[in-house]
Amino acid sequence: MERLGRYEILEVLGRGAMGTVYRARDPILDRVVAIKTITILSVTPKEEHEYRVRFFQEAQAAGKLSHPNLVTIHDVAEEESTQAPYIVMEYIEGRTLESLLSDPAGKPIQERLDLVKQVAEALDHAHTHGIVHRDIKPANIIVTPQGRAKVTDFGIAKLAVTQLTMPGESLGTPSYMSPEQVAGDPVDGRSDLFSLGIILYCVLAGEKPFTGENPTTVMFNITYKEPVPASQLNPSLDPRFDYVLERALAKDPARRYQRGQEFADDLEDLCHGRAPRSQVGTLTGADVQSTVMQKALPPLPPQAEREACLPTRWPRKAAVAAAFASQLSRHARVVLGRVPWQVTLALVATSLVLFAFRSIGPAKTANLEIHCVHSFRAANLFVWVDKDLVYEGKLAGTVKKRMGFIKTVQGSFLDTLALAPGRRVIRVQVASKDEGYNQTKEVEGEWVQDGKKTLEIGFSGQSKNLYMALQ
C-alpha cells in the first residue's frame, strides 16, 4: 500500500496545480484523514526556503484552532523523497458549497443563508486568533449531510493566492478576491469577509457580483465597479439584504463588517425577519454623508500615472491655444490702446472659447472606456480610432511583494475617449523599450448615438501576449 509518511493512502480525492488531495488512514490512531500535498512552483531556492518556514509556522498556528465550522488540522510534515510539504486534516464526508450552489435542486435559500452565517462565525474565530484564510471560496467550504459548513485549507491558502498571480503562471479565477488582494496590498480578516460577501451574493442573486470574459475584466470590476443590487436580480428578496451586501462588499475595508460575528448577527436577524442589528439606530449628518460617500467608486490609479496618460490631443491644442492667446493679446494692446484691461481679458477669453470649439469640432456623442491591467514597470500605450492616433500615454506599474519575498509588478489604467457614432476600427499598440516589447492588436465595433463600449486590455502568459475585448 502506498504511504505518505506514516499515513496509508486510500484514494486520490483530487488533483490540481497546487497539489493533490488524498483520503488516507492514520494507522496509529486508526482514523481516516485527508492529506493535501503542496507543490511549490517557480521560486528560487531562497524563496522556497522562506516559504517552507512560513508554511510550517502558519500550519502550526492554524492547527491550534478549534471550532465546529473549521476543518481541524492534525499534522504537518514533508515527504521524505521529494521534500514536498503536506498537511493532514480532518476528513469530512459531504459536498462542497460550490457543487451545492450549482445544483438547482440544492438546499433552500434559508439553509444556504445559515451556511454563510456558520462560515462568518468560523472566520470570526480564526481572525480573533490572528489567522487569515486569504482564499475563501465555495470550493473551500464543505457541507456535511447534517447541514454543517466546514471551512478547509486554513494554513495553506496564503501560498495558493500568491501563486495565482506569479509571473508565468496561470492566473486562475479571481472571482472571490478582495480589492486589496487584486492590488497586491496587505490583507487582514476583512478581506475574507469580502470574499464571503461574494458567496452571499451568489446565494441570494444566483450569480456572481463581479464577472467578465477574462480575469483582467473580473479584477477591474472587483476594484472599481459596484454590483447590481441583489434585490433587482431576485425580486422576492427582502431589500434589507442589499444593506448587508453593501457592507460586506465595500471597496474600502474600513467600510466593511469589521468582524465575522457582526456579519453573522445581521444574517441571523434577516433570517428571522428582523432588521439587521448593525443598521438599527439613528444616523447623524456625518453618518449620512459617509454612507453616501461609501457608494462612490474607489480612487482610480494614482494621479501621477493619470497625468502621464493624458491624451496627446489636449496638450497639442493647449499649445496652439496659448500661442493664439499671445498673438491676440498683443493685437488687443495695439488696437484697444487704453481700453481697460478687463475688457481686453474678456475679449481674449471669448476668442479662446471660440477657438477651442472650432478646433475640437462637432460634439462627439459616443464613448470608448479603456480598462487596462498590466505588469509593466514602464511602457507606452497608443490608441488609434480608424487611422487617427487619438491617444498616447504611459503605463507605469508598482512593485508589490507577496508573502514578503516574491516580487511582482502591477499597474492599472482607466480613461474614456469621445468618438463619433458609427463603425470604428480600434487599434492598440503597447511598447516597452526596457523589456523589448512591442505588440499591436485591432478590434472593430459599432457605436450608436450616446452609446458607450468598454475596451478591456490585458496581457497573458510570461511573454505578455496582448489581448483585447470590446464589450
Let me know: does 212 contact 218? Beta carbons within 8 Å.
Answer: yes
DSSP state of 223: H
Active site residue 75: no
d(CA 177, CA 165): 12
Residue 239: CB atoms within 10 Å: 11
Only one residue has cell 434577516, namely 270
* DSSP assignment of 152-174: --TTTHHHHHHHHTSTTS-----
Question: What's the CA gap between 365 and 117, in Å, rounded?
Answer: 48
Helix, strand, coil fractions of the chain, as percent rounded to 5: 35, 30, 35
**CA dist 278 → 23, 243, 282 (Å):** 42, 10, 11
Fill in the amino acid letter for 13.
L
Q: Is 60 helix (H, G, I), strand (E, B) or coil?
A: helix
Which residue is catalytic, options 26, 124, 135, 153?
Answer: 135
Calpha distance 255→463 (Å, rounded): 38
CA 445 to centroid of chain Cα atoms: 27
3-state DSSP assignment of residue 123: helix
> Is residue 253 helix, strand or coil?
helix
Residues marked as catalytic: 135
